[in-house]
Structure 1
Amino acid sequence: MLTNNPVHDLPLQHLTGFTHRWVDADGVRLHAVEGGRTGGPAVVLLAGFPQTWWAWRKVMPRLAERFHVIAIDLPGQGHSERPERGYDTHTAAAHVHAAVKALGVSSYCLVAHDIGAWVAFSLALNFENHLRRVALLDAGIPGVTLPETIFTDPDRAWKTWHFAFHTVPELPETLLAGREREYVGWFLTVKALSPSTFDDTELDHYAAAVAADGGLRASLAYYRDAAESARRNREALQQRRLTVPVLGISSSHGSIPDMAASLSPCADNTTGIVVPDAGHFIPDEQPDAVADALTGFLADGH
C-alpha cells in the first residue's frame, strides 16, 4: 500500500490504531487514514489550510471508541495526489466522496474544518442522500458566508487578507517558495489563541506538506477556484436546501462567531456550539471539547 503513495518526499505521520490507505477517487489518488470500530458508524474528517489529516490526530482516538473513523487528505493536500486542475469545491467533493465509496462506505457522517468545510458543504449539496450528519468548524463558505470583500482595518484584516493574496497569479509562489515554514508558521501561531499550540515538529510537518511536490500550487488553487465554488454553491442552493442535520462549531476567538447562524439560511436543521478558549484551529486547541461535541451529535444520528 505504501508504494501507492504519490507524495514520496513527505514523511508519513503514524497514529496508533490507524492505517494509511491510498485509493483511486475518480482518477485522483487520495490518502486516507482509517481506524476505529470495524462495522461501526462511519465518520469522515477533512482538514483545511495549511494542515493535513494530522489536524485531527488528537480527536481521532476518542472518536475511534465508537465510530469507524476515516481522515482524508483533500486533493493536493498532505499525501494525496496534486492534480493540475479541479480545485473548485464541487470537483474536490466528488473526489472525496469517490474515495469514501472506494473504502467500502456508502453512508457516513462528515466533519470538516476551514477549506475542508468548503468541500464538505459542496459535498452535502451533491451527495446528501449518503450523509447522516454534517459538522462544520470555523469556516466561511464560498457563495454563502465567505466575505466577498477583504477588510482593511488592522483589527480584522489579519484574519482574511490572504484570500486576496492567494488569488494573485504567480506572485505568492514567487514570494513563498523556500519560505513555506515561515508562512505556515504565521498562520498556525497567530490564528491559534495560544502561540504555543503548535510545536516545532508540527510546524515542520505542515510546512513540508505545503512545500512537497506541488503542494503550494495546490493549496493556492482552492482560493483561486473559490469564485467558481461560490457560483456552483449558489446555483445548487437555488434548487434545494440542506436537510441533513448540521452542527456548526465556532470558537471563542475564531473567524466565524456563530457557525450555526451563518448556515441556517441554507439548512433546515442547524444547531451550534461555541468552544471556549480556542482560536481558529479548534481540533488542535480543544480536542476534548471537540470530541465530546462530535460524539454527542454524531451518535444521535445512529
Structure 2
Amino acid sequence: MFSADPDDAETATINRSAPCEDHVNRESLPMPSQQTHPRKDAVPNTVDTVAHLPPGFTDTFTSRIVDVNGIAVHAVVGGDGPPLLLLPGWPQFWYCRQLVMPALAEHFTVIAADHRGQGASDKPATGYDAATLADDLAGLMAALGHSRYAVAGIDLGMATGYALAGSHGERVTQLAVVEAILPGISPLPNLLSDATTNEFLWHFAFNRLQDINERMVAGREEIYFGHQFATKAASPDAIPPHAVDLYVEALRDPAALHASFEIFRVDNDPLILGWQKEGPLDTGAGDRRRVLDRRQRRTGHAAGRHRRDRTGRSRLRAPS
C-alpha cells in the first residue's frame, strides 16, 4: 500500500540469460553467519498457526527461519523448480500471497518471505532501510541454498526488490515489481493536494511521523489499518475479514507497530538514486531490452512502453 495512484502501477522486469540456479559454491557467498531450521514451535503467523489456507497448503509448504544479520527472518517455502522469492507489501506479510502460492509451486520453488518487522520475522527497533532489508533477504536465500533466483515484489516489496537487484544483482535472475513508488525516483504529489489525492495518500505523511503515530494507533489498530484495507484495496470488501483480522492482530504487537512506521521514516532516496546512477542492470548477455533501467528519469518510468487502461490512465507495460 505504498502506491502513489491506485490505477497507475510501475512494473518492470529483469531477465538474465543464465539459469536460475548456478553452480557457485554457496558456502563461499559473502553472507554473515546463518542457520536455518524448520519452525517447530507454535509461532504466530507461521504456516502452522494461521487459518483459512487453501486445501492441501500445508502438504506443500512449511515455515522456515533463518538467523541472519543478528535477527530471525521467516519464510514459507514449498514447491519444485527454479527458486522464486515473493516479497509482500505493507501492512501485510507472507499470507497475502497464499492464494497464488499453490499454483506457483507447480513450477517454482516458492519462498514467500516476511521482511524484518513483518509476520513471523523478528522486529528489531532499527534496520528498516532498503539496503538492510535487501541484505536480510539475500541472507535468507543463501541460507536456504539458493545462489540465484527470481524476485517478485509488491508495494513495500517493490522497494526491497529493487534494492535486492541493485545491491545483489549477481543473484537476481528476474525481477518483477509493481504497485508502489520508488523513493527519489517516482514523482510525489504536493503536500496539499485535491481531496481525492489527499484521501488516498495521507498515510504517507502520517506514517513518517516520530512517535505520535504509534501512540495514536496503539490500541486502535483495527481502526487505522482496517481503514487502510477498506480504502486502498480494489473495493472495501476485496480483502476478506478473516485476513484483515489476521493482519491487524499481528500489528497489535508494539514491535510490529513500530516497524510498520519505521519503514516509512527511513530516507531511502540516496540508496535508490545511487543504484539508479550505476546504470542498467547487466543481463550477462548484452540484451538490454530486458533490464530494469536504473537510469530512469525522475518521472519514475522504467524501460518499457505505456498503454492506456480502461480508466484512460497511462500504465507501464513491462519490456518485451
The answer (yes or no) to whether the contact 2:76–2:111 under 8 Å persists in 1 is yes
Distance 1:30 1:108 in 2: 18
1:90 aligns with 2:131: yes
Q: How does 1:197-212 map to 2 (within 5 A)?
A: 197-212=238-253
Q: Deviations over 1:168-214 (max 9, x none)?
A: 11111111001111211111111112211122211110101222251
Which consecutive residues of structure 1, in runs of 5 or more, have no partner in the other structure? Answer: 248-260, 278-292
Q: How does 1:40-119 map to 2 (within 5 A)?
A: 40-119=81-160
1:212–1:5: structure 2 CA closer, same or farther, 3 Å change rule? farther
Structure with higher Rg: it is 2
1:2 aligns with 2:36: no
The answer (yes or no) to whether the contact 1:112–1:135 under 8 Å persists in 2 is yes
State the Cα distance separating 1:6 from its structure 2 match.
6.9
State the Cα distance separating 1:158 from its structure 2 match.
2.0
Distance 1:64 1:8 in 2: 20
- Matched to 1:125, the amino acid is G
Q: CA RMSD in A?
A: 2.9
- Normalising by the residue count of structure 1, what TM-score does the alignment of the two structures yield? 0.78
The answer (yes or no) to whether the contact 1:151–1:161 under 8 Å persists in 2 is no
Report the 3-state secondary structure (helix = DSSP H, G, I; strand = E; otherwise coil) of the residue aligned with 2:279. Answer: coil
Distance 1:32 1:8 in 2: 10
Q: Which residue of 2 aligns with 1:139?
A: 180
Q: Which residue of 2 aligns with 1:242?
A: 281
Q: Which residue of 2 aligns with 1:153?
A: 194
Q: How does 1:183-222 map to 2 (within 5 A)?
A: 183-222=224-263
2:222 pairs with one of 149, 167, 181 = 181
Report the 3-state secondary structure (helix = DSSP H, G, I; strand = E; otherwise coil) of the residue aligned with 1:128. Answer: coil
Q: Which residue of 2 aligns with 1:125?
A: 166
Report the 3-state secondary structure (helix = DSSP H, G, I; strand = E; otherwise coil) of the residue aligned with 1:211. Answer: coil
Report the 3-state secondary structure (helix = DSSP H, G, I; strand = E; otherwise coil) of the residue aligned with 2:168. Answer: helix
1:146–1:172: structure 2 CA closer, same or farther, 3 Å change rule? farther
Consecutive aligned runs of 4 or more in structure 1 exceeding 3 Å deviation: 3-16, 148-151, 243-247, 270-277
State the Cα distance separating 1:8 from its structure 2 match.
8.4
Distance 1:271 1:63 in 2: 27
- Matched to 1:236, the amino acid is W
2:66 pairs with one of 23, 26, 30 = 23
The answer (yes or no) to whether the contact 1:35–1:70 under 8 Å persists in 2 is yes
The answer (yes or no) to whether the contact 1:133–1:246 under 8 Å persists in 2 is no
Q: Deviations over 1:24-48 (max 9, x none)?
A: 12222111000111xx111100011
1:141–1:111: structure 2 CA closer, same or farther, 3 Å change rule? same
The answer (yes or no) to whether the contact 1:48–1:116 under 8 Å persists in 2 is yes
Distance 1:146 1:28 in 2: 34
- Normalising by the residue count of structure 2, what TM-score does the alignment of the two structures yield? 0.73
1:4–1:76: structure 2 CA closer, same or farther, 3 Å change rule? farther
Which range moved further: 178-187 or 150-159? Answer: 150-159
Report the 3-state secondary structure (helix = DSSP H, G, I; strand = E; otherwise coil) of the residue aligned with 2:132. Answer: helix
Distance 1:45 1:200 in 2: 23
Distance 2:306 2:98 in 1: 23
Distance 2:308 2:255 in 1: 35
Distance 1:116 1:236 in 2: 17
Higher helix share: 1
Report the 3-state secondary structure (helix = DSSP H, G, I; strand = E; otherwise coil) of the residue aligned with 2:77. Answer: strand
Report the 3-state secondary structure (helix = DSSP H, G, I; strand = E; otherwise coil) of the residue aligned with 2:273. Answer: helix
